[in-house]
């Protein structure tokens, strides 16, 4: 079905730029058939795929977009074979944290080779619950074997383990944001002492973190246990309780299975019922965003045998970070740009496992277990090609690496960076380096969007709109486009902005503009590393 997208009334109180942006936004929002803009499609300026041509891979799997909410992804996959529907429930990052890609994890579940439904870190509980529901609420695959998938970029077998992590050494986790900032973003430098940490720009670094020992101590106290009590850990090995909780268990988001164990062992019937409802995912039941300590505090009658509880928790998963350095520039080092997760909930300070492991709990000189996650879908083009990099916030990380690489290799292609953060004074990450790159000509264009420096928000996509004609000219010159950073908001809105620019500048209707971007993606000229 196609809709006519609404157009802002002529007297609406917006500047021409805001009006253009909102019209584009509405056009994108109303989908494929929308006709908000009085543009005509001309074949002369842009070659869209001819009718009947083979669709590029991304269109075969339209739900494979981390910027789409789960319900939209599931709707797009409705009626597809079960492994496609399962795939639509994944986080869509192909981040490899589960040991698979989204598609191969789904295929492994569908054919029964994988029974663990909680491996998807970016998808979290929402994904594991959706998987369970798709499998008929049982969490088990129907006995009918899944047909072989029509598209496959990998085989569904056992997950690819990252291998034994290497020990890097923390050199620093220095603050990049300045006094007065609402944010804390860190420049993490890790030294590769083994000489075995081999990476390319665009790769991610997996960090194998430990839980906060203070939190582990509180949990052990609440359990009324001793730290050295042997328990069955999530890896199937018997270990001291403190070690299992510190290194092997996901304690920030207890698994549904662990909540079920708590429910089944709760002496208080009300507590048991609430825990059971939580495990089944009833919305609004029980404490929101509860970690293991919350559950033990709020449900004091739930005290299962230790091994039963510990082995039902999810295994701790590594976290990925975009590498912010080029190995040719930062010899023997890997740099990261990390936003530590810290917030208050129920009068207790909560901290992200890996981000605060790196930024708060490891001291300079201490070891950090890491591995490289190769990211072939996020690579620099040939050296003479222009590139446009869109990376607000921590999304700047891989682009710092790209620039270092282009400098180190003498690549002559033009470079354009869009960067955004709340305030210029406190949040202009790598300001000195970037302005130096502008001065010496490595960065041909730098456009910044400081969102909170004025009354209304200014984001990177607004700057892109202001420079639409030049951006289009770069694209027509063969530029490669890169986006990195927040998936659900930024990457989605940037894509809408891009579609608008392509439509307007290339005189295409929204369908053709979307097809243009899909073609860029299929050609490897539009690459995203979003989370
Ligand atoms: C490919 C890829 C690249 C990435 N690159 C980077 C990067 O360069 N830099 C970077 O900083 N991160 C990056 N990330 C994100 C990173 O992997 C981690 O997800 C992030 O650091 C948080 O992990 P954590 O272990 O510290 O937090 P976790 O222990 O996993 O906790 C995070 C969870 O806490 C909850 N939460 C967070 N804030 C709040 C809040 N205010 N209120 C309530 N709940 C909250 C959310 O449920 C969130 O999922 C990347 C992710 C991927 C997949
Ligand atoms: N998995 C995790 O737990 C975790 C940990 C760290 C970071 N992250 C994610 O990674 C993202 C990156 O964090 P960050 O601190 O580096 O940057 P960020 O929060 O994304 O902010 C960077 C800039 O982008 C702006 N922005 C907000 N919404 C936008 C939109 N729809 N389109 C374009 N720009 C937008 C922000 O403006 P305003 O803020 O002024 O609106 C800010 O100026 C976070 O948003 C977060 O979702 C996740």
Residue nearest to atom 15 of ligand 2 (CA): 393
User: What whole-number distance in Å separates Cα of residue 319 and Cα of residue 143?
Assistant: 34
Confirm if 239 and 252 have CB atoms less than 8 A apart: no
The full DSSP string for 509-530 is -HHHHHHHHHHHHHTTSEEEEE
Distance from Cα 531 to the centre of ligand 2, integer Å? 10
pLDDT band at 97 (very low <50, low <70, confident <90, very high): confident
The closest of 325, 457, 503, 487 to 391, measured between CA atoms, is: 487
Average pLDDT over residues 498-524: 96
For range 86-97, the mean pLDDT: 87
Q: Which atom of ligand 2 is nearest to the CA of 449?
A: 43
Q: Which residue carries 């591995």 as its tokens?
A: 371
Mean pLDDT of the chain: 87
CA angle 56-60-65, nearest 5°? 95
- The reported pLDDT for the residue numbered 12 is 54
**What is the C-alpha separation between 380 and 201, in angstroms, rounded?**
8
Q: Which of 28, 359, 486 to mutate to test the pocket of ligand 2 (most atoms within 8 A of CB)?
A: 486
Q: Is residue 193 predicted with pLDDT exceeding 90? A: no
Q: Classify residue 90 as exposed, middle or buried by CB count within 10 Å of its CB (0-12, 13-18, 19+).
A: buried
Q: 122 CA distance to ligand 1 centroid (A)?
A: 9
The single-letter DSSP state of residue 135 is T
The pairing of beta strand 204-207 with beta strand 367-373: antiparallel
Using the 8-state DSSP alphabet, how is residue 390 labeled?
A: E
Which tokens is 393 given?
A: 């916030």
Q: Is residue 335 pLDDT above 50, yes or no?
A: yes
Inter-CA distances, 47 with 56, 119, 515, 516, 529, Å: 14, 41, 10, 8, 26
The SS3 assignment for 94 reads coil
* Residue 505 CB-density burial (10 A; 0-12 exposed, 13-18 middle, 19+ buried): buried
Residue partners of 33: CB distance under 8 A and separation at least 6: 1, 2, 3, 510, 511
How far apart (Å, rounded) are the C-alpha atoms in residues 335 and 172? Answer: 10
Residues for the chain: how many in total? 531
Of the pLDDT bands very low, low, confident and very high (cuts 50, 70, 90), residue 95 is confident
Q: Is the CB–ligand 1 distance for residue 95 below 6 Å?
A: yes
Q: Which of 101, 355, 389, 489 to mutate to test the pocket of ligand 1 (most atoms within 8 A of CB)?
A: 355
Helices (H), 30-141: 57-60, 70-77, 82-89, 102-110, 124-134
Dihedral of CA 236/240/246/249: which sign? positive
Residue to substitute in 393, 451, 493 for testing ligand 2 pocket (most ligand atoms within 8 angstroms of CB): 393
**Ligand 1 in reach of 263 Cβ (< 6 A):** no
Q: What is the per-residue DSSP string for 282-351?
A: -TT-S-TT--HHHHHHH-TTB---HHHHHHHSPBP--EEEEB-S-TTTSTTEEEEEE---EEEETTEEEE
Closest ligand 2 atom, residue 395 Cα: 16
**Which mutation among 321, 337, 343, 376 tests ligand 1's pocket best, with the greatest number of atoms within 8 A of CB?**
321
Nearest CA to ligand 2 atom 45: 486
User: How far away, in angstroms, is 492 Cα from ligand 2 center?
Assistant: 12
Q: Whose CA is nearest to atom 41 of ligand 2?
A: 451
What domains are there in the chain, each with its CATH number?
Answer: 69-161 (no CATH), 166-207+318-373 (2.40.30.10), 213-312 (1.20.990.10), 387-530 (3.40.50.80)
Name the residue at shortest CA distance from atom 17 of ligand 2.
393
State the pLDDT confidence band at 268, using cuts at 50, 70 and 90.
very high
pLDDT bracket for residue 96 (50, 70, 90) = confident
Sign of torsion over alpha carbons 371, 117, 488, 155: positive
Residue nearest (by alpha carbon) to ligand 2 atom 46: 486
For 340-380, how does the pLDDT look when each residue is reduced to its tens digit (9 = 90+)? Answer: 999 999 999 999 999 999 999 999 999 999 999 999 999 99
How far away, in angstroms, is 195 Cα from ligand 1 center? 28
Q: How far is the CA of 321 from the centre of ligand 1 (A)?
A: 9
Q: What is the pLDDT of residue 25?
A: 46
Higher pLDDT, 97 or 296: 296
Strand order in the sheet with 445-450: 445-450, 415-421, 387-390, 480-485, 526-530
Query: 137: CA distance to ligand 2 center in Å?
Result: 34
Quick one: the chain helix, strand, coil %, rounded to 5?
35, 15, 45
CA angle 288, 294, 300 (to 5 degrees): 120
Residue pair 400/199 in contact (Cβ under 8 Å)? The answer is: no
Between 300 and 59, whose confidence is greater?
300
Distance 121 CA to ligand 1 centre (A): 10
Q: Which of 249, 280, 238, 251 is nearest to 263 (CA)?
A: 280
Q: Is 108 in the pocket of ligand 1 (CB under 6 A)?
A: no
User: Which residues, 6+ apart, have CB-to-CB distance to 386 below 8 Å?
Assistant: 413, 414, 415, 416, 474, 477, 478, 479, 480
Kindly report, residue by residue over 14-41, the tens digit of the pLDDT.
444 444 445 444 444 444 333 333 333 2
Beta partners for 112?
Answer: none
pLDDT at residue 56 tops 80: no
Assign 43 a pLDDT band (cuts: 50, 70, 90): very low
C-alpha 57/C-alpha 512 separation (Å) is: 17
User: What is the atom index within ligand 1 of the atom nearest the CA of 207?
Assistant: 17
Segment 134-174, tens digit of pLDDT: 998 655 555 444 433 333 333 334 444 456 899 999 999 99
* Alpha carbon nearest to ligand 1 atom 40, residue: 343
**Are the beta carbons of 336 and 358 closer than 8 angstroms?**
yes
Q: Could you tell me if the CB of 421 is within 6 A of ligand 2?
A: yes
Cβ–ligand 1 distance for 253 under 6 Å, the answer no
pLDDT on residue 500: 97
Determine the Cα angle at 137 with ends 134 and 141, to 5°: 65
Instruction: Establish whether residue 322 lines the binding site of ligand 1, counting it when its CB lies within 6 angstroms of any ligand atom.
Output: yes
CA distance 292 to 250: 9
Q: What percent of the chain has pLDDT over 70?
A: 84
């Amino acid at each position: 079905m196609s809709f006519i997208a609404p157009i802002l009334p002529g007297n609406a109180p917006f500047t021409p730029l805001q009006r253009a942006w909102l019209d584009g936004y509405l056009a994108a929002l109303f989908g494929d058939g929308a006709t908000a803009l009085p543009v005509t499609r001309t074949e002369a300026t842009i070659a869209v795929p001819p009718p009947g041509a083979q669709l590029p891979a991304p269109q075969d799997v339209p739900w494979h977009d981390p910027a789409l909410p789960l319900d939209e992804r599931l709707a797009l996959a409705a009626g597809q074979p079960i492994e496609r529907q399962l795939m639509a429930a994944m986080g869509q990052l192909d981040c490899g944290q589960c040991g698979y890609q989204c598609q191969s994890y789904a295929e492994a579940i569908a054919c029964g080779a994988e029974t663990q439904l909680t491996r998807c870190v970016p998808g979290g509980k929402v994904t594991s619950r959706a998987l369970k529901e798709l499998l008929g609420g049982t969490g088990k695959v129907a006995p009918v074997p899944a047909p072989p998938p029509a598209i496959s970029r990998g085989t569904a077998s056992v997950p690819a383990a990252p291998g034994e992590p290497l020990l890097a050494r923390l050199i620093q986790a220095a603050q990049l944001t300045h006094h007065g900032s609402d944010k804390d973003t860190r420049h993490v430098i890790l030294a590769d002492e083994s000489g075995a940490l081999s990476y390319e720009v665009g790769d991610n670094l997996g960090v194998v973190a430990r839980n906060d020992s203070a939190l582990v101590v509180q949990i052990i106290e609440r359990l009324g246990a001793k730290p050295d009590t042997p328990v069955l850990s999530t890896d199937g090995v018997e270990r001291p309780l403190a070690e299992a909780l510190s290194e092997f268990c996901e304690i920030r988001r207890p698994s549904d299975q662990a909540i079920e164990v708590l429910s089944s062992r709760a002496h208080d019937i009300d507590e048991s019922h609430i825990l059971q409802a939580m495990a089944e995912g009833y919305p609004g039941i029980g404490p929101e965003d509860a970690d293991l300590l919350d559950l033990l505090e709020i449900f004091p009658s739930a005290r299962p045998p230790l091994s039963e509880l510990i082995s039902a928790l999810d295994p701790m998963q590594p976290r990925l970070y975009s590498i912010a350095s080029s190995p040719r520039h930062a010899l023997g080092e890997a740099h990261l740009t990390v936003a530590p997760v810290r917030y208050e909930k129920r009068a207790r300070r909560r901290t992200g496992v890996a981000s605060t492991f790196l930024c708060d709990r490891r001291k300079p000189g201490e070891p950090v277990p890491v591995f490289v996650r190769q990211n072939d879908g996020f690579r620099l083009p040939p050296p003479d090609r222009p590139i446009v990099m869109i990376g607000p916030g921590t999304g700047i990380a891989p682009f710092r690496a790209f620039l270092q690489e282009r400098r180190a290799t003498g690549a002559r292609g033009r470079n354009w960076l869009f960067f955004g953060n709340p305030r210029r004074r406190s949040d202009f990450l790598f300001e000195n380096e970037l302005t130096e790159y502008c001065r010496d000509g490595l960065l041909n264009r730098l456009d910044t969007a400081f969102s909170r420096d004025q009354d209304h928000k200014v984001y990177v996509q607004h700057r892109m709109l202001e420079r639409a004609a030049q951006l289009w000219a770069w694209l027509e010159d063969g530029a490669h486009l890169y986006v990195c950073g927040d998936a659900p908001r930024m990457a989605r809105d940037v894509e809408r902005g891009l579609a608008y620019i392509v439509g307007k500048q290339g005189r295409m209707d929204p369908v053709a503009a979307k097809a243009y971007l899909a073609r860029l993606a299929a050609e490897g000229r539009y690459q995203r590393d979003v989370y």
